[in-house]
With several copies, the nearest count.
Chain A
């Protein structure tokens, strides 16, 4: 068999393969670039950006939980201008697509950032409507169909790159929210962001996180993420980028079968800096071994029980 086709399209942007680093876990690529060749990645979703620089929350910002972590970084980032100046030149050296993850407190914030980033070498926008660690905006938009629809529509009108809407799992019904994104004109949906959680140090009686609560990620949330990807796949037509606890090929396959066109890997980088590289290699081998000529054939290939 010829080499299988691993490439996927998000809007009119072609990713060489469907494996993307999840926003907030991979910085701007520099650090993990010492461990893996960034050219191999399908895309790099950079740390969530805001219009102005943000300090984020006070530390501790991480707690370990069974098969997962809580984080409460709170969108520490240098701001969109510093990103353009200091990070884009570095990232454009590599083949992998640059995905600017952006978060705002108001619709206007989002629009300003998109305008600023429109004329840069950023390839895709990932609109973060789901950050649980900042008090204002963001998550509020992501909690209702209407909110998602409005932000999406406003951004789509001006965006010169395809837009991915990143959804929060902290909702009653993820499918209606996803429909809001589709109806607003999203080119793709990414999910899931973290689930709000808390861990308490029983000795001090204080939450481990200085922010008290944080976002749960890692393998523990995978069954929830798989369920949501599957549900959303059944209700929208645009591509889904699935994530939540991926550690290896097997986990990645679960997401593709459930309905993902591409995947993101976050937390597991902390344990295994090579996880993306491994998954890409193993995925290609899997397609060869199973005579699958195109990764697209896997997407949504789930066979439900009656």
Chain B
């Protein structure tokens, strides 16, 4: 099976750092499930020999969207592409968020760009009562709120500087509003994920968490994206990025 290139049909600059791409590739768009990711070649040059993993934000027909934050050389080069050009994207990859039909009351907790993989989940997980908690640094970095509200989810916003709604951590906002959820979906910085998992364990709530790890192949062949689980070493690209919170040891991943 040879993967087809993805055509850039639209580029939307969300703010100075975040760029949304609307990409056309029916194979990826039709197969993607919430929480999966794609692996993107960012430039022609072999100076950067690795692809970059980026979450699938949503799918629509033969299209799918991604948002990437410009943080380093790869995403900088990605920002040089224009509408109409084709990107070499492998995907959809990994195992995403899952919902059982009995999961009715669900919550999402997203921190910063950790928000992205949750969007496809809140869009796809229908017939639920959904609370969506999201934390930003400040108003300037806020995004995607309208898109999430349209799904009917209750959106709770926190900002580190108090420029919008709750002033403080999204985890605190979550605790304040916690219900007896059937399942909670988490994605954000490791420390935030760790706190969320602690809370859920305390309240005995089921949850899934999406992890980040530096990747090589993105498909499970090179074993670089290891993470410890109760079932032994697993690989974020293939066995994840989404894991059951019962299975993972996040503390071990925090730098000593």
Contacts and interface: CB of A to CB of B under 8 A. Distances in A.
User: Direct A–B touching in the complex (beta carbon < 8 Å)?
Assistant: yes
Nearest to B219: A31
Interface residues of A, number: 42
Q: What are the 8 closest A-B residue pairs judged by CB atoms, nearest first?
A: A27-B221, A31-B221, A62-B224, A61-B224, A31-B219, A60-B214, A59-B226, A31-B220
A270 B226 CA distance: 16
A11 interface: no
Nearest to A29: B221
A118 B256 CA distance: 43
Contact of B232 (A55, A60, A61, A206): A55
A56 B214 contact: no
Contacts of B224: 59-62, 71, 73
Interface of B: 1-3, 41, 46-51, 90, 213-227, 232-233, 238, 252-253, 255-256
Contact of B49 (A56, A64, A76, A204): A64
A212 to B, nearest CB: 13
Contact of A25 (B2, B90, B221): B221
Contact of B222 (A24, A67, A68): A24
Contacts of A94: none
A243 B238 CA distance: 27
A59 B225 contact: yes
24 contacts: A25-B221, A25-B222, A26-B221, A27-B221, A31-B221, A34-B1, A35-B2, A35-B3, A55-B226, A55-B232, A55-B233, A59-B226, A59-B227, A59-B253, A67-B46, A67-B49, A71-B216, A71-B224, A73-B223, A73-B226, A76-B233, A270-B50, A273-B90, A305-B255
A247 B221 CA distance: 18
A271 B218 CA distance: 10
B82 to A, nearest CB: 22
Given A219-B49, A305-B256, A76 B223 contact: yes
Contact of A27 (B47, B90, B223, B256): B223
A267 B222 CA distance: 9
Main secondary structure of the interface of A (DSSP, over half): loop
A31 B218 CA distance: 10
B248 to A, nearest CB: 12
Contacts of B90: 273
Interface in A246-290: 247, 267-271, 273-274
A184 to B, nearest CB: 30
Contacts of B219: 31-32, 34, 273
Contacts of B225: 59, 61-62
A69 interface: yes
Nearest to A248: B46
Contacts of B51: 270-271
Contacts of B49: 64, 67-69, 218-219, 267-268, 270-271
A6 interface: no
Nearest to B72: A64
Contacts of A145: none
A306 B256 contact: yes
A91 interface: no
Contacts of B213: 59-60
A25 B227 contact: no
A55 B234 CA distance: 10
Contacts of A218: 46, 49
B254 to A, nearest CB: 11
Contacts of B3: 35, 273
